Amino acid sequence: MKKIVTIKEKGVYSSKRLGQGLKVEAYFLKYAFPCAFITLQRGAIDLKTYKMLERAAVKGESLPRSMLEKVFAAADRRMDILVKEQGYEKWSMKLVRDYYWKWHDRFIKDGEGSYGFAPEIIKELCRVLPGTVVKVGKETAVVKLKGGKVRPVMTLLVGALKKGDKVMVHYGYACEKL
Amino acid sequence: MCLAIPGKIISKKGKVVVVDYGSEKRKASIIDGSYKVGDFVIVQGKIVVDAVPAEQVKRWHRFLRETSKR
């Protein structure tokens, strides 16, 4: 990871307004929340904290940066690497977006940190991928992901979707409508 | 909330499955894909998100144990 690569602003990756008008903390939480169940399972956060994160993620509310950095310590550490090595500004929308849209996948592929000994299925679910909605249900959607796989997701973080919508997916959640 | 461990499908009625986590059992809905009793799955927000290959179930638990120590 030596060179800064600018994310293509057109096509499936385009987002009309970066972060959909959310504050950066709220935007980060939309992408980070889907892996909070692992943090809960590890015992690093309690159920009350998990519920609070879920509520804020669904409503698009901001939480204190200090709390987010502590709860999502691995994401924070990896974003700090990008600040240091790639010149991003800490807690900028661009950093959050580029981290989840691009760098996150590279950290997984590189086996950085705990990814080094994660089973394949966790690494697969953990990848943040764009996709197209092929079917919708109540608070759910079925998304055809880049690469061809199909993933059922919850739509609580993005609101109602319709067939053909482009979304970003992390674990079992659509995180952002593009 | 959802458990971040693979659970085993122990019964299936239409699109609703009961998933056994050892310590507890939970219901989940299948909105895509085909699953059968005995499959290990990961559930999020009450939907079955993906199957976990049997050989990766132990590795998943080990991953959680090892990252919990850090």
CATH for B59: 2.30.30.140
Q: Is the ipTM of this complex over 0.95?
A: no
Of B29, B45, B70, the CB nearest to A156: B45
Q: Determine the length of chain A.
A: 178
pLDDT the model gives residue A113: 84
B1 in a domain, yes or no? Answer: no
Amino acid at residue number A124: E
pLDDT the model gives residue A11: 40
pLDDT the model gives residue A141: 97
Q: Tell me the average pLDDT across B11-33.
A: 94
B34 in a domain, yes or no? Answer: yes
B2 in a domain, yes or no? Answer: no
Of A41, A43, A172, the CB nearest to B5: A41
Q: Look up residue A114 and give its two tokens.
A: 């705990």
- State which residues form the domain around B39: 7-68
Measured CA to CA, the distance from residue A38 to residue A36 in angstroms comes to: 5
pLDDT the model gives residue A140: 96
**Matching residue, tokens 């959050």:** A96
Mean pLDDT by 10 residues, chain A (178 residues): 45 54 94 92 91 95 96 94 95 94 91 86 92 96 95 95 96 95
Q: Are A24 and A96 in contact (CB under 8 A)?
A: yes
pLDDT the model gives residue B1: 56
- Answer whether B1 sits within 8 Å of A54, measured CB to CB: yes
Q: Go through the domains of chain A in sequence order and give each one's CATH number.
A: 19-120 (no CATH), 128-177 (2.30.30.140)
pLDDT the model gives residue A14: 45
